[in-house]
């Protein structure tokens, strides 16, 4: 039996509890949440006349966005999880219909940037935003793939919201301080590669 | 904790590693208000430092993009496996599937001959079993009365949970979650008139999230007294037309009502 079938019987609160854990429990929570409401994809095809690929994208983005909010504690549980997800899914389908197909993968592109510069003053925000806009994303991505598996994995865990303390267990480091130093060295290494690119 | 205001004054700009640690401290929320002001001042006055901040954020974004891509690829694989399992029929098993199809056709024929379509009560039953077996637990909620009542409900102790929800309503008559859950618990123990009272009260509250009308319809379907099905249909149409809570569940129910 596929996990897609069994996940439909897992209560929402169990899925949420797993999402609030780390490592394999969180991964299981992510997959269970994806499976639980994957029938939305068919609805995206029939109700919004999306292609299967677009409906899948809208649903995947919905799940990733919900996971992000659950992990950050901004999902307060005032609406049932299904209603909450459906609202996000509906908005993403409408966005997809409005957007040109070539832009559909940009749903998350600037979300992290937006979240991070949110706390800066307007003057600082404007300076940083202009510099970010000039970043060579493709080059940075290529260099991130070149800095070594360990560094790449460490930066990805950090970007995924794991604290240095949580990464200690996930990557078998000794202490959170070691994780922090290694993470900053990886960034430094990436910066050198990025700057020195011919 | 590190004194960052002092730290930045003594750290040369070209030492990028130090600069990174400083930037990391800011975005991890480790700074005092005074240190934040100092950080922002430096950002506006020192182009090299601003460049470092932009690099830090850009790297974070690219790393997050990779995380998302990896997760989406994993979802794609899960969905493809599921789709394959449900769609692909191996040729060597075609015979057994033919037999199964014949049996299925016979069952369908029998169903048309001898069975009636599901009653509104059966439709409601199916919905309740599928969607209302567990109530949402408050994220980070403490051990208050609402949590206690939800706990009892989720253990299947519907009769025990209802008085606890009602006790909350005695002191907070407009507590929307208590009204919603009291109504659901009342359905579970067959107290349909009581459930309708709670859902009617819920409907009258000015809420952004208000499932009152949908549950009212569900209760009428479950009770299935003369005229209830027609009344339930009106409520479901209202939910769909006004875009109320659970509107996505309405088409399936209306089609079969």
Residue A93 sits in the same domain as residue A120 = no
Residue A151 sits in the same domain as residue A117 = no
Residue B138's closest CA among B88, B182, B177?
B177
| Residue A12 covered by a domain | yes
Asked if B59 and A190 touch (Cβ cutoff 8 Å), the reply is yes
Q: For the purposes of burial, counting CB atoms within 10 Å of the CB of B189, is it exposed (0-12), middle (13-18) or buried (19 or more)?
A: middle
Residue A86 sits in the same domain as residue A154 = no
Residue B217's closest CA among B177, B182, B183?
B183
Residue A113 sits in the same domain as residue A139 = no
Write out the H or E segment, with its range, that includes residue B57.
helix B47-87
Number of domains in chain A: 3
| Residue A116 covered by a domain | yes
What are the pLDDT digits (tens) for B147-197? Answer: 888 888 888 888 889 999 999 999 889 888 899 999 999 999 899 999 999
Residue A46 sits in the same domain as residue A79 = yes
- Give A185's contacts in chain B (Cβ within 8 Å): 17
Residue A181's domain comprises: 135-195
∠ CA A176-A177-A180 to the nearest 5 degrees? 90
| Residue A63 covered by a domain | yes
Residue A38 sits in the same domain as residue A57 = yes
d(CA A64, CA A62): 6
d(CA B16, CA B21): 9
Between A74 and A163, where is the model more confident? A163
A170: distance to nearest CA of chain B, Å?
15
| A73·B58 Cβ contact <8 A | no
Asked if A33 and B74 touch (Cβ cutoff 8 Å), the reply is no
- Give A121's contacts in chain B (Cβ within 8 Å): 40
Residue A128 sits in the same domain as residue A147 = no
Closest residue of chain B to A40, computed from CA coordinates? B248
SS3 B155: coil
Residue A94 sits in the same domain as residue A155 = no
∠ CA B230-B231-B234 to the nearest 5 degrees? 90
| Residue A125 covered by a domain | yes
Q: Which of residues 68-107 of B touch A (CB under 8 A)?
A: 68, 70-72, 74-76, 78-79, 81-82, 85-86
- Give B139's contacts in chain A (Cβ within 8 Å): 16, 73, 75-77
B20: distance to nearest CA of chain A, Å?
7
Residue A10 sits in the same domain as residue A90 = yes
> Could you tell me the pTM of the whole model?
0.56
Residue A78 sits in the same domain as residue A125 = no
A178 shares contact with chain B (CB less than 8 Å): no
Looking at residue A106, the DSSP 8-state letter turns out to be: G
| Residue A13 covered by a domain | yes
- Give B71's contacts in chain A (Cβ within 8 Å): 30, 60, 64
pLDDT digit string (tens) for chain B, length 257 residues: 444 444 444 444 445 567 889 999 999 888 899 999 999 999 999 999 999 999 999 999 999 989 999 999 999 988 887 766 655 555 555 666 677 777 877 777 666 555 566 788 888 988 888 888 888 766 544 458 888 888 888 888 888 899 999 999 998 898 888 999 999 999 998 999 999 999 999 999 887 778 999 999 999 999 988 889 999 999 999 998 888 888 888 888 888 77
| Residue A103 covered by a domain | no
| A60·B136 Cβ contact <8 A | no
Residue A122 sits in the same domain as residue A65 = no
Helices of type H across A99-148: 111-117, 122-133, 137-144
B65 shares contact with chain A (CB less than 8 Å): yes
Residue A59 sits in the same domain as residue A19 = yes
Task: Report ipTM for this prediction.
Answer: 0.85
A8: pLDDT confidence band, cut at 50, 70 and 90?
Answer: low
A139 shares contact with chain B (CB less than 8 Å): no
């Amino acid at each position: 039996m596929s996990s897609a079938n069994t996940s439909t019987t897992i209560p929402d609160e169990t899925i949420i509890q797993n999402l609030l854990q780390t490592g394999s429990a969180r991964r299981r929570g992510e997959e269970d949440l994806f499976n639980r409401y994957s029938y939305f994809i068919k609805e995206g095809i029939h109700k919004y006349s999306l292609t299967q690929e677009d409906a899948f994208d809208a649903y995947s983005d919905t799940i990733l966005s919900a996971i992000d909010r659950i992990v950050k504690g901004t999902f307060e549980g005032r609406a049932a999880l299904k209603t909450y997800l459906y609202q996000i899914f509906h908005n993403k389908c409408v966005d997809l219909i409005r957007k040109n197909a070539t832009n559909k993968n940009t749903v998350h592109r600037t979300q992290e940037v937006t979240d991070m510069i949110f706390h800066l003053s307007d003057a600082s925000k404007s300076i940083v935003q202009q510099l970010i806009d000039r970043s060579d994303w493709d080059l940075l991505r290529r260099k991130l793939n070149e800095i070594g598996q360990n560094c790449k994995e460490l930066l990805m865990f950090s970007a995924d919201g794991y604290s240095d303390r949580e990464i200690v267990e996930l990557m078998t480091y000794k202490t959170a301080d070691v994780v922090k130093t290694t993470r900053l060295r990886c960034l430094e290494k990436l910066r050198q590669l990025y700057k020195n690119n011919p | 904790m590190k004194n960052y205001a002092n730290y930045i004054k003594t750290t040369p700009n070209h030492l990028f590693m130090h600069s990174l640690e400083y930037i990391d401290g800011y975005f991890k929320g480790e700074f005092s208000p005074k240190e934040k002001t100092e950080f922002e001042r430096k950002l506006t006055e020192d182009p090299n430092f601003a460049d470092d901040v932009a690099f830090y954020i850009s790297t974070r974004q690219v790393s997050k993009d990779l995380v998302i891509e990896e997760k989406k690829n994993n979802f794609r694989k899960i969905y493809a496996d599921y789709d394959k399992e449900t769609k692909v029929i191996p040729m060597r098993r075609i015979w057994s599937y033919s037999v199964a199809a014949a049996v299925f056709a016979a069952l369908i024929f029998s169903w048309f001959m001898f069975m009636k379509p599901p009653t509104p009560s059966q439709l409601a039953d199916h919905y309740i079993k599928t969607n209302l077996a567990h109530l949402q637990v408050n994220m980070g909620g403490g051990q208050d009365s609402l949590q206690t009542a939800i706990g009892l409900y989720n253990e299947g102790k519907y009769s025990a949970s209802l008085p606890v929800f009602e006790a909350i309503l005695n002191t907070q008559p407009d507590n929307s979650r208590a009204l919603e859950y009291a109504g659901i618990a009342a359905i579970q123990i067959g107290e349909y008139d009581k459930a309708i009272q709670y859902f009617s009260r819920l409907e009258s509250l000015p809420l952004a999230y208000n499932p009152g009308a949908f549950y009212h319809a569900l209760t009428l379907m479950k009770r299935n007294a003369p005229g209830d099905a027609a009344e339930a249909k009106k409520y479901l149409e209202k939910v769909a037309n006004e875009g109320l809570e659970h509107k996505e569940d309405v088409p399936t129910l209306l089609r079969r009502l």
